[in-house]
Every structure is written in C-alpha cells, then in structure tokens.
A and B are shown apart, each in its own frame.
Chain A
Amino acid sequence: MAVTRDAVLDWMNRFAGEMGEHRQELVRLDTAIGDGDHGTNMDRGMKKALEKLGAAEQADPGAALKTVAMTLISSVGGAAGPLYGTLFLQLGGGLAGHDEVDLPTYAAAWRKALEGVQSRGKAEPGDKTMVDALVPAVEALEGASDLDDGLRAAAQAAEEGMKATTPLVARKGRASYLGERSQDHQDPGATSTYYLFKSAAEALAG
C-alpha cells in the first residue's frame, strides 16, 4: 500500500467533515480552557481548503497538502492557523515529488511536521497541547512495519494521547493562564489532531 494523491484528497475531505461534525465539541472544549474558537476556526479553514483543493489540479500528495497549509495559514488565524499550517507545510514538503508514498517516507514527513509544530509553538510533550497527540502518533508510524497497520496504530496512539491530556495542567496557550484549573479538561488541539489521524486511517489504510 502507498499514499496517493487521491487518497490524500479523500483524507482532507474526511478531516474537513470531522471538523464540521465536531465543531461544537471543539468549541465546548476550547471554551472550557481557552477562548472558544477552535471548532469554528478549524471548520472554516478546512472548508476553505476543500474549495482550494477543488479549484486546481493537485500534482501529487505533497502539492495537495501544501495547498491545505497555505489556505489554513491565510484563513484560520489564532494559534491553530500557524500550527496546522506549519504541520501541513512540513508534511507536504516531506512528500513532495512522490506520486506514491511508502511508509518510511510518510513517517519521516510526519517527523518533520512534528518538529515544525514544536518549533513554531515551542510546546513539549506534557504541556497539554496538540503535541501530546502528535508525538505518540508519529512514534507509532515510525515503529510500524506496514503502512496500514501504522496508520491504524497512529490513530489509536493519537486517541490515547488526546485522552491523556485531560489530567494535565496546561503550560502553553491560553489554557496555561488557568494553571491548575485547566485540569480535568481534554485539550481541544489534541482533539482536532486525533481527528486528523482518525481520518487518515480511514482514508489511507486499505
């Protein structure tokens, strides 16, 4: 199995669908410990990204992800715009020039995406951010021997990472202003990141 352009387009379609479907859930999570805009921003950004993807021929998986990146950077704002923008930019960069992406290339691109997100947002694991879902998912991909298994393991790891943010005290982003009052809430960024890996497993795994 390999990651193709059409599979990536299907993935982005599904991810946009998840953002629309879970818009209120993300707003609710973000209202509890942030500023309440995560669901609306991601929904708006991914709807725009789908428009852009549909408006022009995407040469390969990397090009499609770059289109998503640039759309999110210029339409989302907040923290999610630069962070998801950087994620897709690095991920797309890692896949550029490949029509069919194998597991090692895909996992290496995700490592670059993770590094990009961390360098933009300065978050470490345990800070109660999207990084807490990203790190275990990327590690699951890197540890897999087969693309389908890796995609499913990554989705599961992202879900566990997301759930593990609940007891954490936030140390980055607006939630950090709450100190210990940020405990017992699931992080909205880690939640949208889980949906990204969930939709990837559905779209890309055979």
Chain B
Amino acid sequence: MKKLINAPDAVVQDALRGIEAAHGDRVRVMYDPAVIVRADAPVQGKVGLISGGGSGHEPMHGGFVGPGMLDAACPGEVFTSPTPDQMLEATKAVNGGAGVVHIVKNYTGDVMNFDMASEMGKAEDIEVETVLTNDDVAVEDSLYTAGRRGVGVTVLVEKICGGAAEDGRSLQEVAELGRRVNGNGRSMGMALTPCITPASGEPSFELADDEVEIGIGIHGEPGRFREKIGPASQIAERLMTPILEDLPFSSGDKVLAFVNGMGGTPLIELYVVYAEVAKIAQEHGLSLERNLIGNWITSLEMQGCSITLLKLDDEMTRYWDAPANTPALKVCG
C-alpha cells in the first residue's frame, strides 16, 4: 500500500492542518477536540447546523463548512464516528441562540455518539434537533438490521438545510425540511475496487479484476451482490432500478440527480454514468431539474460511484439554488 501520509495515526490531524493552512481565513480549526467551524460562528439568531462522521469521505463534511451550508463539522478518525465531546464543542460554538441541528448519518456509532452529544447539549440549555439520513436502498430496512445507511442524500440535506438556516428559518422548520429531503431521497452505490484505510493497510474486501460490487457502503462495506463487470449502462440500471422502485418515483416528478464518485473514479466516467442516469430518468418520465456530479461523499481511494435521486418540491429547489460559499461547494446566488 502506498499513501501520501506522514504516519497512519496522524492522517486526520495532518489533513486538518492543511485545511487550516488553506482556508484559515474562513474556517477556524480546533484540534482538541477536533472541530472545523465557520470563522464567523456563532451567527446570532441563525439556526446552527453541524454534522460529522468518520474521516475519509472528503470533502464531506469539513469541506462544506461555510455560509449557506454547515456551521461546523466534526471529523472522526478514518471511518470512525467522532466523539460526543467534539459534537458538544461544535454545538456550543455554533449556537447563535436559535438552536442547533445535528445532521447524522445512520450508522450505529454515529447515532450513539450524537445521542450522547445531544443529551449533553440539552443539559447546557441548547435546543438540539437531529436529522437522521438513511437513504441507501442497498440495505434492507427491517427490524433485523441497523437500518439503512446515510449516504448521498446527506450532501443534499446539508446544502438545502444550510440555505434555509441562512434564510432565517426556525429550528423546527430547518429540521423538518431536512427530514423531508431525506424522506424523498434514495441512493445506491457500487465499487470497482475496495478502499484501504491508512490504519489497516489492507483492502476492505477482495474483488476480482473483472468483478464489481453492487450496493456498496461508503466504508468499504460489501454490498448486496457482486457480478462480472458490464457496461456503464448496465451498472446505472442496477443502481437506478432499486432507487426508482423504492420511493417510488413516478412520471412527472421533478428530480435532482446526483452522480457521486467514490474518490478514485475520474470525472469523465461519472459523466458517462450521468448520461445513462438521464436516459433512464427520461424513460420513466422524470423531469431532471437539477444535478450534482463529482466526488462529494467519497470512500478514500475506492473506484466506483453512487447515484442519488431526490424528488424536489419548490422549497427544496429554492434552497438548493441559494448561495453557498464553502471550501468545496460554491453556489453563486
């Protein structure tokens, strides 16, 4: 394994130093506990928006800290949920008196740590609302699993809720909007290769040269099944069919389509996939109103992609279009 690192245990700290060096004019980086905060936080009277999760998914979440998106992000170790003291510190740093929304991806560790942080925040008289994302249709949602994973829709929730918070909407309104985005979004991913965490140095799973894993998670969790690699059109179909059936999306729906790279796939291939997504969407009578294409919620160096479809309403569209100025995502008003 070759990686551009100094030491496996120092990766997160060293990356934070890079973020501080590059974006110190607009974000404040705290190291103990590790939190990336908007430089002008807390914004008085504005609902604070924080998220966090294991590192290794960059630019999510730290790259989305800035006006129009997150007020703070808590980076955990690679693929490991951050800790409650980080989340509490972030919550306090962004509380401008209007309460704080925690955007939490549905993973056992993230949920438990954010639960503890939410209890601690409330104990300090800060109003906290949690928006849980669980949009991954690859996971059977039942009493017998930890529930669906939070994946691509998380980026959309952070952008749309960020717009609403900037617009002065209340804690309840921002949280409800976030839940509506999650409720109307569905995702599924696939991998051409596994990823390698710096600490383990080992591939997250074994995949033959001619195989793909369909239904992959963003931590290299194996997916629903593996098969011989086919053309991009077939792979797009494999991901789109369960997504379309699950909501279900129906003819006439206005939709945002998000084709996300897992970190190691070039943009040209993501556009090949987007062409297939657009074709399938058209065949189903969906109106593709907005899109996002690129590496936004990654899985280290994994090659592959995920597709997220979000059924839009006017409010979501308005806040999707609202200005944002973060290190990773910029939207001009």
Name A residues whose Cβ lies closer than 8 Å to a Cβ of B: 27-28, 31, 34-37, 40-41, 44, 73-83, 120-121, 169, 171-174, 176-179, 181
Contacts and interface: CB of A to CB of B under 8 A. Distances in A.
Q: Chain B: interface residue count, which band?
A: 35 or more
Contacts of B9: 44
B158 interface: no
Interface string B291-314: 000000000000000000000000
B79 A37 contact: yes
B229 interface: no
B144 A171 contact: yes
B116 A82 contact: yes
A178 B138 CA distance: 10
Interface in B62-89: 76-85
29 contacts: A28-B202, A31-B200, A35-B221, A40-B77, A41-B77, A73-B116, A74-B33, A76-B83, A77-B54, A77-B113, A78-B76, A78-B109, A79-B112, A81-B83, A82-B109, A82-B112, A120-B112, A120-B115, A121-B108, A121-B112, A171-B144, A171-B145, A172-B146, A173-B146, A174-B146, A177-B138, A177-B145, A177-B217, A179-B140
Contacts of B197: 36-37
Contacts of B221: 34-35, 174, 177-178
A40 B144 CA distance: 27
B220 interface: yes
Closest 10 CB pairs of A and B: A79-B109, A176-B145, A82-B112, A78-B109, A35-B219, A78-B80, A40-B199, A74-B85, A79-B108, A77-B80
A65 B101 CA distance: 33
A174 B219 contact: yes
Contacts of B84: 73-74, 82
Nearest to A170: B145
Interface string B123-154: 00000000000000011100111100100000
Contacts of B219: 35-36, 174
Nearest to B218: A35
A176 B146 contact: yes
Contacts of A31: 200, 202, 204-205
Contacts of A169: 144
A76 B222 CA distance: 24
A77 B107 CA distance: 12
Contacts of B139: 177
Report whether over half of chain B's contact residues are helix, strand or loop; otherwise say mixed: loop
Nearest to B78: A37
Contact of B113 (A28, A81, A178): A81
B146 A177 contact: yes
Given A37-B199, A41-B77, A173-B108, 14 more contacts: A31-B202, A36-B220, A37-B79, A40-B200, A44-B9, A74-B83, A76-B83, A78-B80, A120-B115, A171-B143, A171-B145, A172-B108, A174-B217, A174-B219
Interface centre among B108, B116, B217 (most CB of A within 10 A): B108
Nearest to B140: A179
Contacts of B109: 77-82
Contacts of A79: 81, 108-109, 112
A82 B267 CA distance: 39
Contacts of A78: 54, 76-77, 80-81, 109
Interface centre among B112, B139, B205 (most CB of A within 10 A): B112
Nearest to B8: A40
A96 B111 CA distance: 29
Contacts of A179: 140, 145
A106 B221 CA distance: 38
A81 B199 CA distance: 17
A34 B108 CA distance: 11
A27 to B, nearest CB: 5
Contacts of A121: 108, 112
A177 B113 contact: no
B83 A36 contact: no
A76 to B, nearest CB: 7
Contacts of B112: 79, 81-83, 120-121
B146 A82 contact: no
Given A27-B200, A31-B202, A121-B108, A41 B144 contact: no
